[in-house]
Amino acid sequence: MRLDPFAGSPAHVSMVDGFDDASIDIAVWGTKVENGGTAITESGGFLTIANAAGAAGISYLPTLHNYGDYIVCQVEITVVDGEAAGDGERCEASLVWYKDAENYVKWGVYRDTGNAVNSSGYLRYNINGAGESATDITAVNIDNDAHTFKIIKHASQVEIYYDGVYQTGIAFQEIINYNVRLEAGTQDAGDTIDIDFDDFKMFNNTDPFGTDLASVNTDLDTIEALLNGSNVTTGSGTVSVALNGVPYAVEFTTAIFGSVFEVTFIADLDAANGFDTNAKANCVLDVGIFKEFGGAYPSLPQDTYAWQKDVTLDRNVDIDHIRCAEDTKITFEVDLIPDDTISVPYRYIVRRLKT
């Protein structure tokens, strides 16, 4: 089953390309477009777009299929050459969502002629032919470090993330039926660039709260306001998996014994200093749901979930509609004690069903 461009297939149907062989995967990518002296190759674990001081050109590799609503897409970009003035004047590399010349989003690195703009996180977009808008999101110069660029679309909202951290959002109803491109190049002849793309990931996101914390905030606050706070509680915090390996628990308490409520819970695994960063290789994160009964918790969870570092495709804990009659707790435990504390931000909503 391939990803559904209009969110008709289940959540988290995934497509991943680690660029770990010497050929472009024709099941994922369409025909590459090379302009000027800029060439696209795959080798050494990267998709590389490079120009050895040849003719100017912007080249790109598009996905084979087009997509629509409720999509999460990210890629890691490293500027090997092109970050310094000695390489020439122009350098750009982006994760691009492209419908047509009047509707697109470009999110990546950009350095223009004369270094008037030199940005490791530069957002450009055009909505319904209104003209390109551009913003230096990070206000940091291009460097040689690898950075992760993520774009999320749910309904009419596009959200932008840099290294796992939410940066900004734009209303963009028109961006639908678009292809995804990995794009890089220069607009001045003689400039040198060498851009590596790695760990391309794309998956459906069809649950009503989104799959990243920033997507949840507005929805939770809106629900709480609609219910006037009488039947709903929202909250947030950070799961800190300690170095001693003791499980961390998030506990939800009902004020009235015997009332019935449900919990929707989400936690971001690829946040800064999170599970993807600080867990040991091949580490497994176990998430368990314990429901209290008669004033005591059982020794084993009623439900368990597991995420493995660098293997499991869905990088978010996303648990919907846990029905409870007494207090409930969610535990986080890793099978390999980390060298550094794992920090995982979370949000939740508790809705009382009966008192």
Same domain, 185 and 277: no
In which domain, by residue range, is 345 found? 213-354
Same domain, 61 and 118: yes
Same domain, 151 and 295: no
Confirm whether 342 is domain-assigned. Answer: yes
End position of a domain, from candidates 160, 181, 204? 204
| CATH number for 244 | 2.60.120
Question: Cα–Cα distances in Å, from 138 out to 78, 160, 170?
Answer: 16, 12, 17
Mean pLDDT per 10-residue section of the chain, whose length is 355 residues: 52 77 91 95 95 94 87 93 85 96 97 90 95 94 94 82 86 88 93 94 61 45 44 77 71 64 84 85 85 83 81 72 82 85 84 65
State the sign of the Cα–Cα–Cα–Cα dihedral 242, 332, 159, 59: positive
Distance of CA 9 to the CA centre of its chain: 19
| Number of domains observed in the structure of the chain | 2
Task: Return the pLDDT at 156.
Answer: 73
Same domain, 279 and 140: no
Same domain, 155 and 286: no
Task: Return the pLDDT at 289.
Answer: 87
Confirm whether 104 is domain-assigned. Answer: yes
8 Å CB contact between 108 and 77: yes
Confirm whether 288 is domain-assigned. Answer: yes
Same domain, 192 and 251: no
Confirm whether 2 is domain-assigned. Answer: no
Contacts of 56 (CB under 8 A, 6+ apart): 36, 37, 90, 185, 186, 187, 188, 189, 191
Confirm whether 256 is domain-assigned. Answer: yes
| CATH number for 21 | 2.60.120.200
Same domain, 239 and 347: yes
8 Å CB contact between 330 and 302: no
End position of a domain, from candidates 149, 174, 204? 204
Task: Return the pLDDT at 79.
Answer: 96
Same domain, 307 and 197: no
Same domain, 181 and 287: no
- Residue 231's Cβ-side half-sphere holds a number of Cα atoms within 13 Å equal to 12
Same domain, 200 and 217: no
**CA–CA dist 59, 278 (Å, integer):** 35
Confirm whether 171 is domain-assigned. Answer: yes
Task: Return the pLDDT at 152.
Answer: 86
Same domain, 125 and 149: yes
Contacts of 81 (CB under 8 A, 6+ apart): 50, 87, 192, 193, 194
Confirm whether 333 is domain-assigned. Answer: yes
Question: Cα–Cα distances in Å, from 194 out to 39, 53, 62, 91, 335?
Answer: 10, 10, 19, 9, 39
**CA–CA dist 119, 162 (Å, integer):** 12
End position of a domain, from candidates 146, 180, 204? 204
**HEC per residue, the chain:** CCCCCCCCCCCCCEEEECCCCCCCCCCCECCCECCCCCEEEEECCEEEEEEECCCCEEEEEEECCCECCCEEEEEEEEEEECCCHHHCCCEEEEEEEEEECCEEEEEEEEECHHHCCEEEEEEEEECCCCCCEEEECCCCCCCCCCEEEEEEEECCEEEEEECCEEEEEEECCCCCCEEEEEEEEECCCCCEEEEEEEEEEEEECCCCCCCCHHHHHHHHHHHHHHCCCCCEEEEEEEEEECCCCCCEEEEECCCCCCCEEEEEEEEECCCCCCHHHHCCCCCEEEEEEEECECCECCCCCCEEEEEECCCCCCCEEEEEEEEECCCEEEEEEECCCCCCCEEEEEEEEEEEEEC
Confirm whether 279 is domain-assigned. Answer: yes
Task: Return the pLDDT at 313.
Answer: 60
Same domain, 40 and 113: yes
At residue 290, φ and ψ (nearest 5 deg) are -110, 125
Distance of CA 31 to the CA centre of its chain: 25
Contacts of 337 (CB under 8 A, 6+ apart): 243, 244, 245, 280
